[in-house]
Amino acid sequence: MTRNRTILSLGAYALALAVTTVTMPPAHAQATGDPQKAVDAAYAKFKSLKEGKNADYIPALAKVDPNLFGIALVTADGKVYTAGDIKTEVSIQSISKVFTMAQVIQEQGLDSIEKRIGVDATGARFNSIIAVEAVKTVVGTGAPEMNPLVNPGAISATSMVKGATADEVWKKIIGFHNDAAGRQLNVLQDVYKSESDTNQRNQAIGALMLAYGYIKANWQQAVDLYTRQCSIGVNAKDLATMAATLAFGGTNPVTHKQAMDPAKVPGVLAVMATAGLYDDSGKWLYHTGLPAKSGVGGGIIAVSPGKFGIAVVSPPLDDAGNSVRAQRAIADISNALGGNPYAAAKKAGS
Ligand code: DON
């Protein structure tokens, strides 16, 4: 028994070592505390990395310069640390799902999303129809097993934003994004048109969500507004500021505007941690501990609660649909700054 235990713990130790070698040491092991140094180091390290490929199922995304690479990090005092191209805008894509979910939670409470959509990982791709069928609890007949960061849940969340007209709903959605970013954002019309021309799959999902009661009426409007929110143009600095708004209890640390009730932010971060990087959410959380969200436009935001918000824009994606350079750069920077909320500092004197 003791021998077996020893073998088992040696095995676990070897596995831990292997994991550490291919990824990174625990976050608190090498904190330098210098954000600009960490951002510059990651930029230099990954500037020439060419892995991954632009998304091309939306034709406009295939045309974006794959060399675009920008990093931004925002701290509690509103200071913005940057490297690379932080001005060029890409479409926000799925990162918008976080802020529309947050808008619904702000407006209707944490229960609203949990009861109507669910907050569980689906284990399927972001636009899976099988996932809708697999968990097709008709609303009101049991707990839904979906989440607002996969398309069925996201389109449903968009449909939940209250407003008498599409225009009224849109003003709320874009308004929430603006508050988090600290400036007026605009829709990239070429992306909106390209995605509207090719979003038949999302239309099918919208119709199914109406059939199962997640969407109450007008699924076409929900899909259109969802497509519009995915086409909002953002740069790395906008995204980092949006992440920082979530890192600091819903208040934008640059403009000091409160976008969200602080009591509701942890629910948003929990869903990001569960499903922010789709099929790879578990791996990401295992190695960084950071609630995060990716978009097929090439952006990723990540949140170190109380410490910083960070974003990287780099369009080439891996097989799971997440920006390759963004994942690597954020993991390195967070590691250098002790960003992993699960990596508690050693007790003083121990
Ligand atoms: O629904 C879509 O296809 C896109 N507008 C958003 C997808 C997306 O960003 C998924 N992300 N990783």
Among residues 341, 350, 348, 349, the alpha carbon closest in space to that of 28 is found at 341
Give the model confidence (pLDDT) of 276-321 as tens digits: 998 899 999 999 999 999 999 999 999 999 999 999 999 999 999 9
Q: Which secondary structure element, helix H or strand E, spans residue 278, and what is its range?
A: none
For residue 42, pLDDT over 80 is answered with: yes
What does the pLDDT read at residue 315?
98
> Probe ligand 1: pick from 58, 91, 93, max atoms within 8 Å of CB?
93
Secondary structure (H, E, C), 224-260: HHHHHHHCEEECHHHHHHHHHHHHCCCECCCCCCECC
For residue 196, pLDDT over 80 is answered with: yes
**Residue 92 Cα, ligand 1 centroid: separation in angstroms?**
9
Cβ–ligand 1 contact at 194 (below 6 Å)? no
233 forms beta bridges with 91
Among residues 21, 27, 68, the alpha carbon closest in space to that of 323 is found at 68
What does the pLDDT read at residue 20?
32
To the nearest 10 degrees (0 to 180), the angle between helices 281-288 and 324-337 is 30
For residue 11, pLDDT over 50 is answered with: no
Residue 58 contacts by C-beta under 8 Å, 6 or more apart in sequence?
A: 191, 194, 195, 198, 296
What does the pLDDT read at residue 141?
58
3-7, 223-227, 243-247, 338-342: least confident range: 3-7
What does the pLDDT read at residue 278?
86
Band of pLDDT at residue 33, cut at 50, 70 and 90: confident
What does the pLDDT read at residue 133?
82
What does the pLDDT read at residue 2?
35
What does the pLDDT read at residue 234?
98
As to burial, measured by CB atoms within 10 angstroms (0-12 exposed, 13-18 middle, 19+ buried), residue 305 is middle
For residue 138, pLDDT over 70 is answered with: no
**Residue 105 Cα, ligand 1 centroid: separation in angstroms?**
21
Nearest CA to ligand 1 atom 7: 94
Give the model confidence (pLDDT) of 85-135 as tens digits: 999 999 999 999 999 999 999 999 999 999 999 999 888 888 888 888 877
Band of pLDDT at residue 269, cut at 50, 70 and 90: very high
Cβ–ligand 1 contact at 94 (below 6 Å)? yes
Band of pLDDT at residue 21, cut at 50, 70 and 90: very low
Q: Looking at the CA of residue 230, tell me the nearest atom of ligand 1.
A: 5
Higher pLDDT, 345 or 186: 186
Cβ–ligand 1 contact at 188 (below 6 Å)? no
Give the model confidence (pLDDT) of 313-342 as tens digits: 999 999 999 999 999 999 999 999 999 999
- Phi/psi of residue 38, each to 5°? -65, -40
Average pLDDT, the chain: 89
Say how far apart CA 98 and CA 146 lie, in whole Å. Answer: 14
Among residues 184, 178, 185, 187, the alpha carbon closest in space to that of 259 is found at 178
> Probe ligand 1: pick from 223, 296, 324, max atoms within 8 Å of CB?
296
- DSSP letter for 214, please: S
Cβ–ligand 1 contact at 151 (below 6 Å)? yes
